Chain A
Amino acid sequence: KAGVTQTPRYLIKTRGQQVTLSCSPISGHRSVSWYQQTPGQGLQFLFEYFSETQRNKGNFPGRFSGRQFSNSRSEMNVSTLELGDSALYLCASSLYDRTGEQYFGPGTRLTVT
């Protein structure tokens, strides 16, 4: 079956703009989690959605938000972009929750200039 897909794969934005990233989980997976990966901070958990509800949230400012649709597809939005938001954003899906095996997508590389 198809893996986790993320779009777009690469994105360049300027400071102050906003961006929306999309994630399509593996068919049948109801949990979608988002992570930010940077060389300095490593992999950091952003939030998790399950059945259209945010179940948990990491320690990120309110500029980072997300949502999940009835078909389990998820989007995350970052408003008022800052240079420090440049990172690889990874989406992962799992059957029930992220404590189980997660399947990661290839990520979206966001560059803020």
Chain B
Amino acid sequence: LAKTTQPISMDSYEGQEVNITCSHNNIATNDYITWYQQFPSQGPRFIIQGYKTKVTNEVASLFIPADRKSSTLSLPRVSLSDTAVYYCLVGDNVGAGSYQLTFGKGTKLSVIP
């Protein structure tokens, strides 16, 4: 099974750029790396997805090195409303057609005024 590792928590001041890194071994060749955001008492919300190199959308950027064994979610100029838990999600082909998805333990981001 793929093992993912994320920092448990991070603090940042408003207006700063925040980078959260997820380490993941045994990622399958065709798998994408996906990041989700979760607020208390809500289901996770999709942020961004990528396969390799760099992906950018209106809320975040995702950097993936050539070996794809890690990924970094970058949130520009965070605000208080970005306080949430961030999860990295990768797939894991465990063979014989079986396929599992592994969420990281999540990184609790606290944005400080």
Contacts and interface: CB of A to CB of B under 8 A. Distances in A.
Interface of A: 4, 33, 35, 42-45, 55-59, 90, 92, 98-107
Given A42-B106, A107-B42, 15 more contacts: A42-B105, A43-B106, A45-B103, A56-B98, A56-B101, A58-B100, A99-B31, A99-B34, A102-B44, A103-B46, A104-B43, A104-B44, A104-B45, A105-B43, A106-B41
B72 interface: no
B13 interface: no
A45 B46 CA distance: 16
A7 B108 CA distance: 28
Contact of B91 (A35, A99, A101, A103): A99
B71 interface: no
Interface in B10-46: 31-32, 34, 36, 41-46
B87 A56 contact: no
Interface string B41-56: 1111110010000000
B43 A101 contact: no
A92 B103 contact: no
Given A99-B31, A99-B32, A44 B42 contact: no
Contact of A43 (B34, B45, B98, B103): B103
Given A99-B32, A99-B91, A42 B44 contact: no
Contact of A101 (B31, B49, B100, B103): B49
Contacts of B102: 45
Contacts of A101: 34, 46, 49
A92 B43 contact: yes
Contacts of B44: 43, 90, 92, 102, 104
A43 B87 contact: yes
Contacts of A59: 100
A100 B49 CA distance: 8
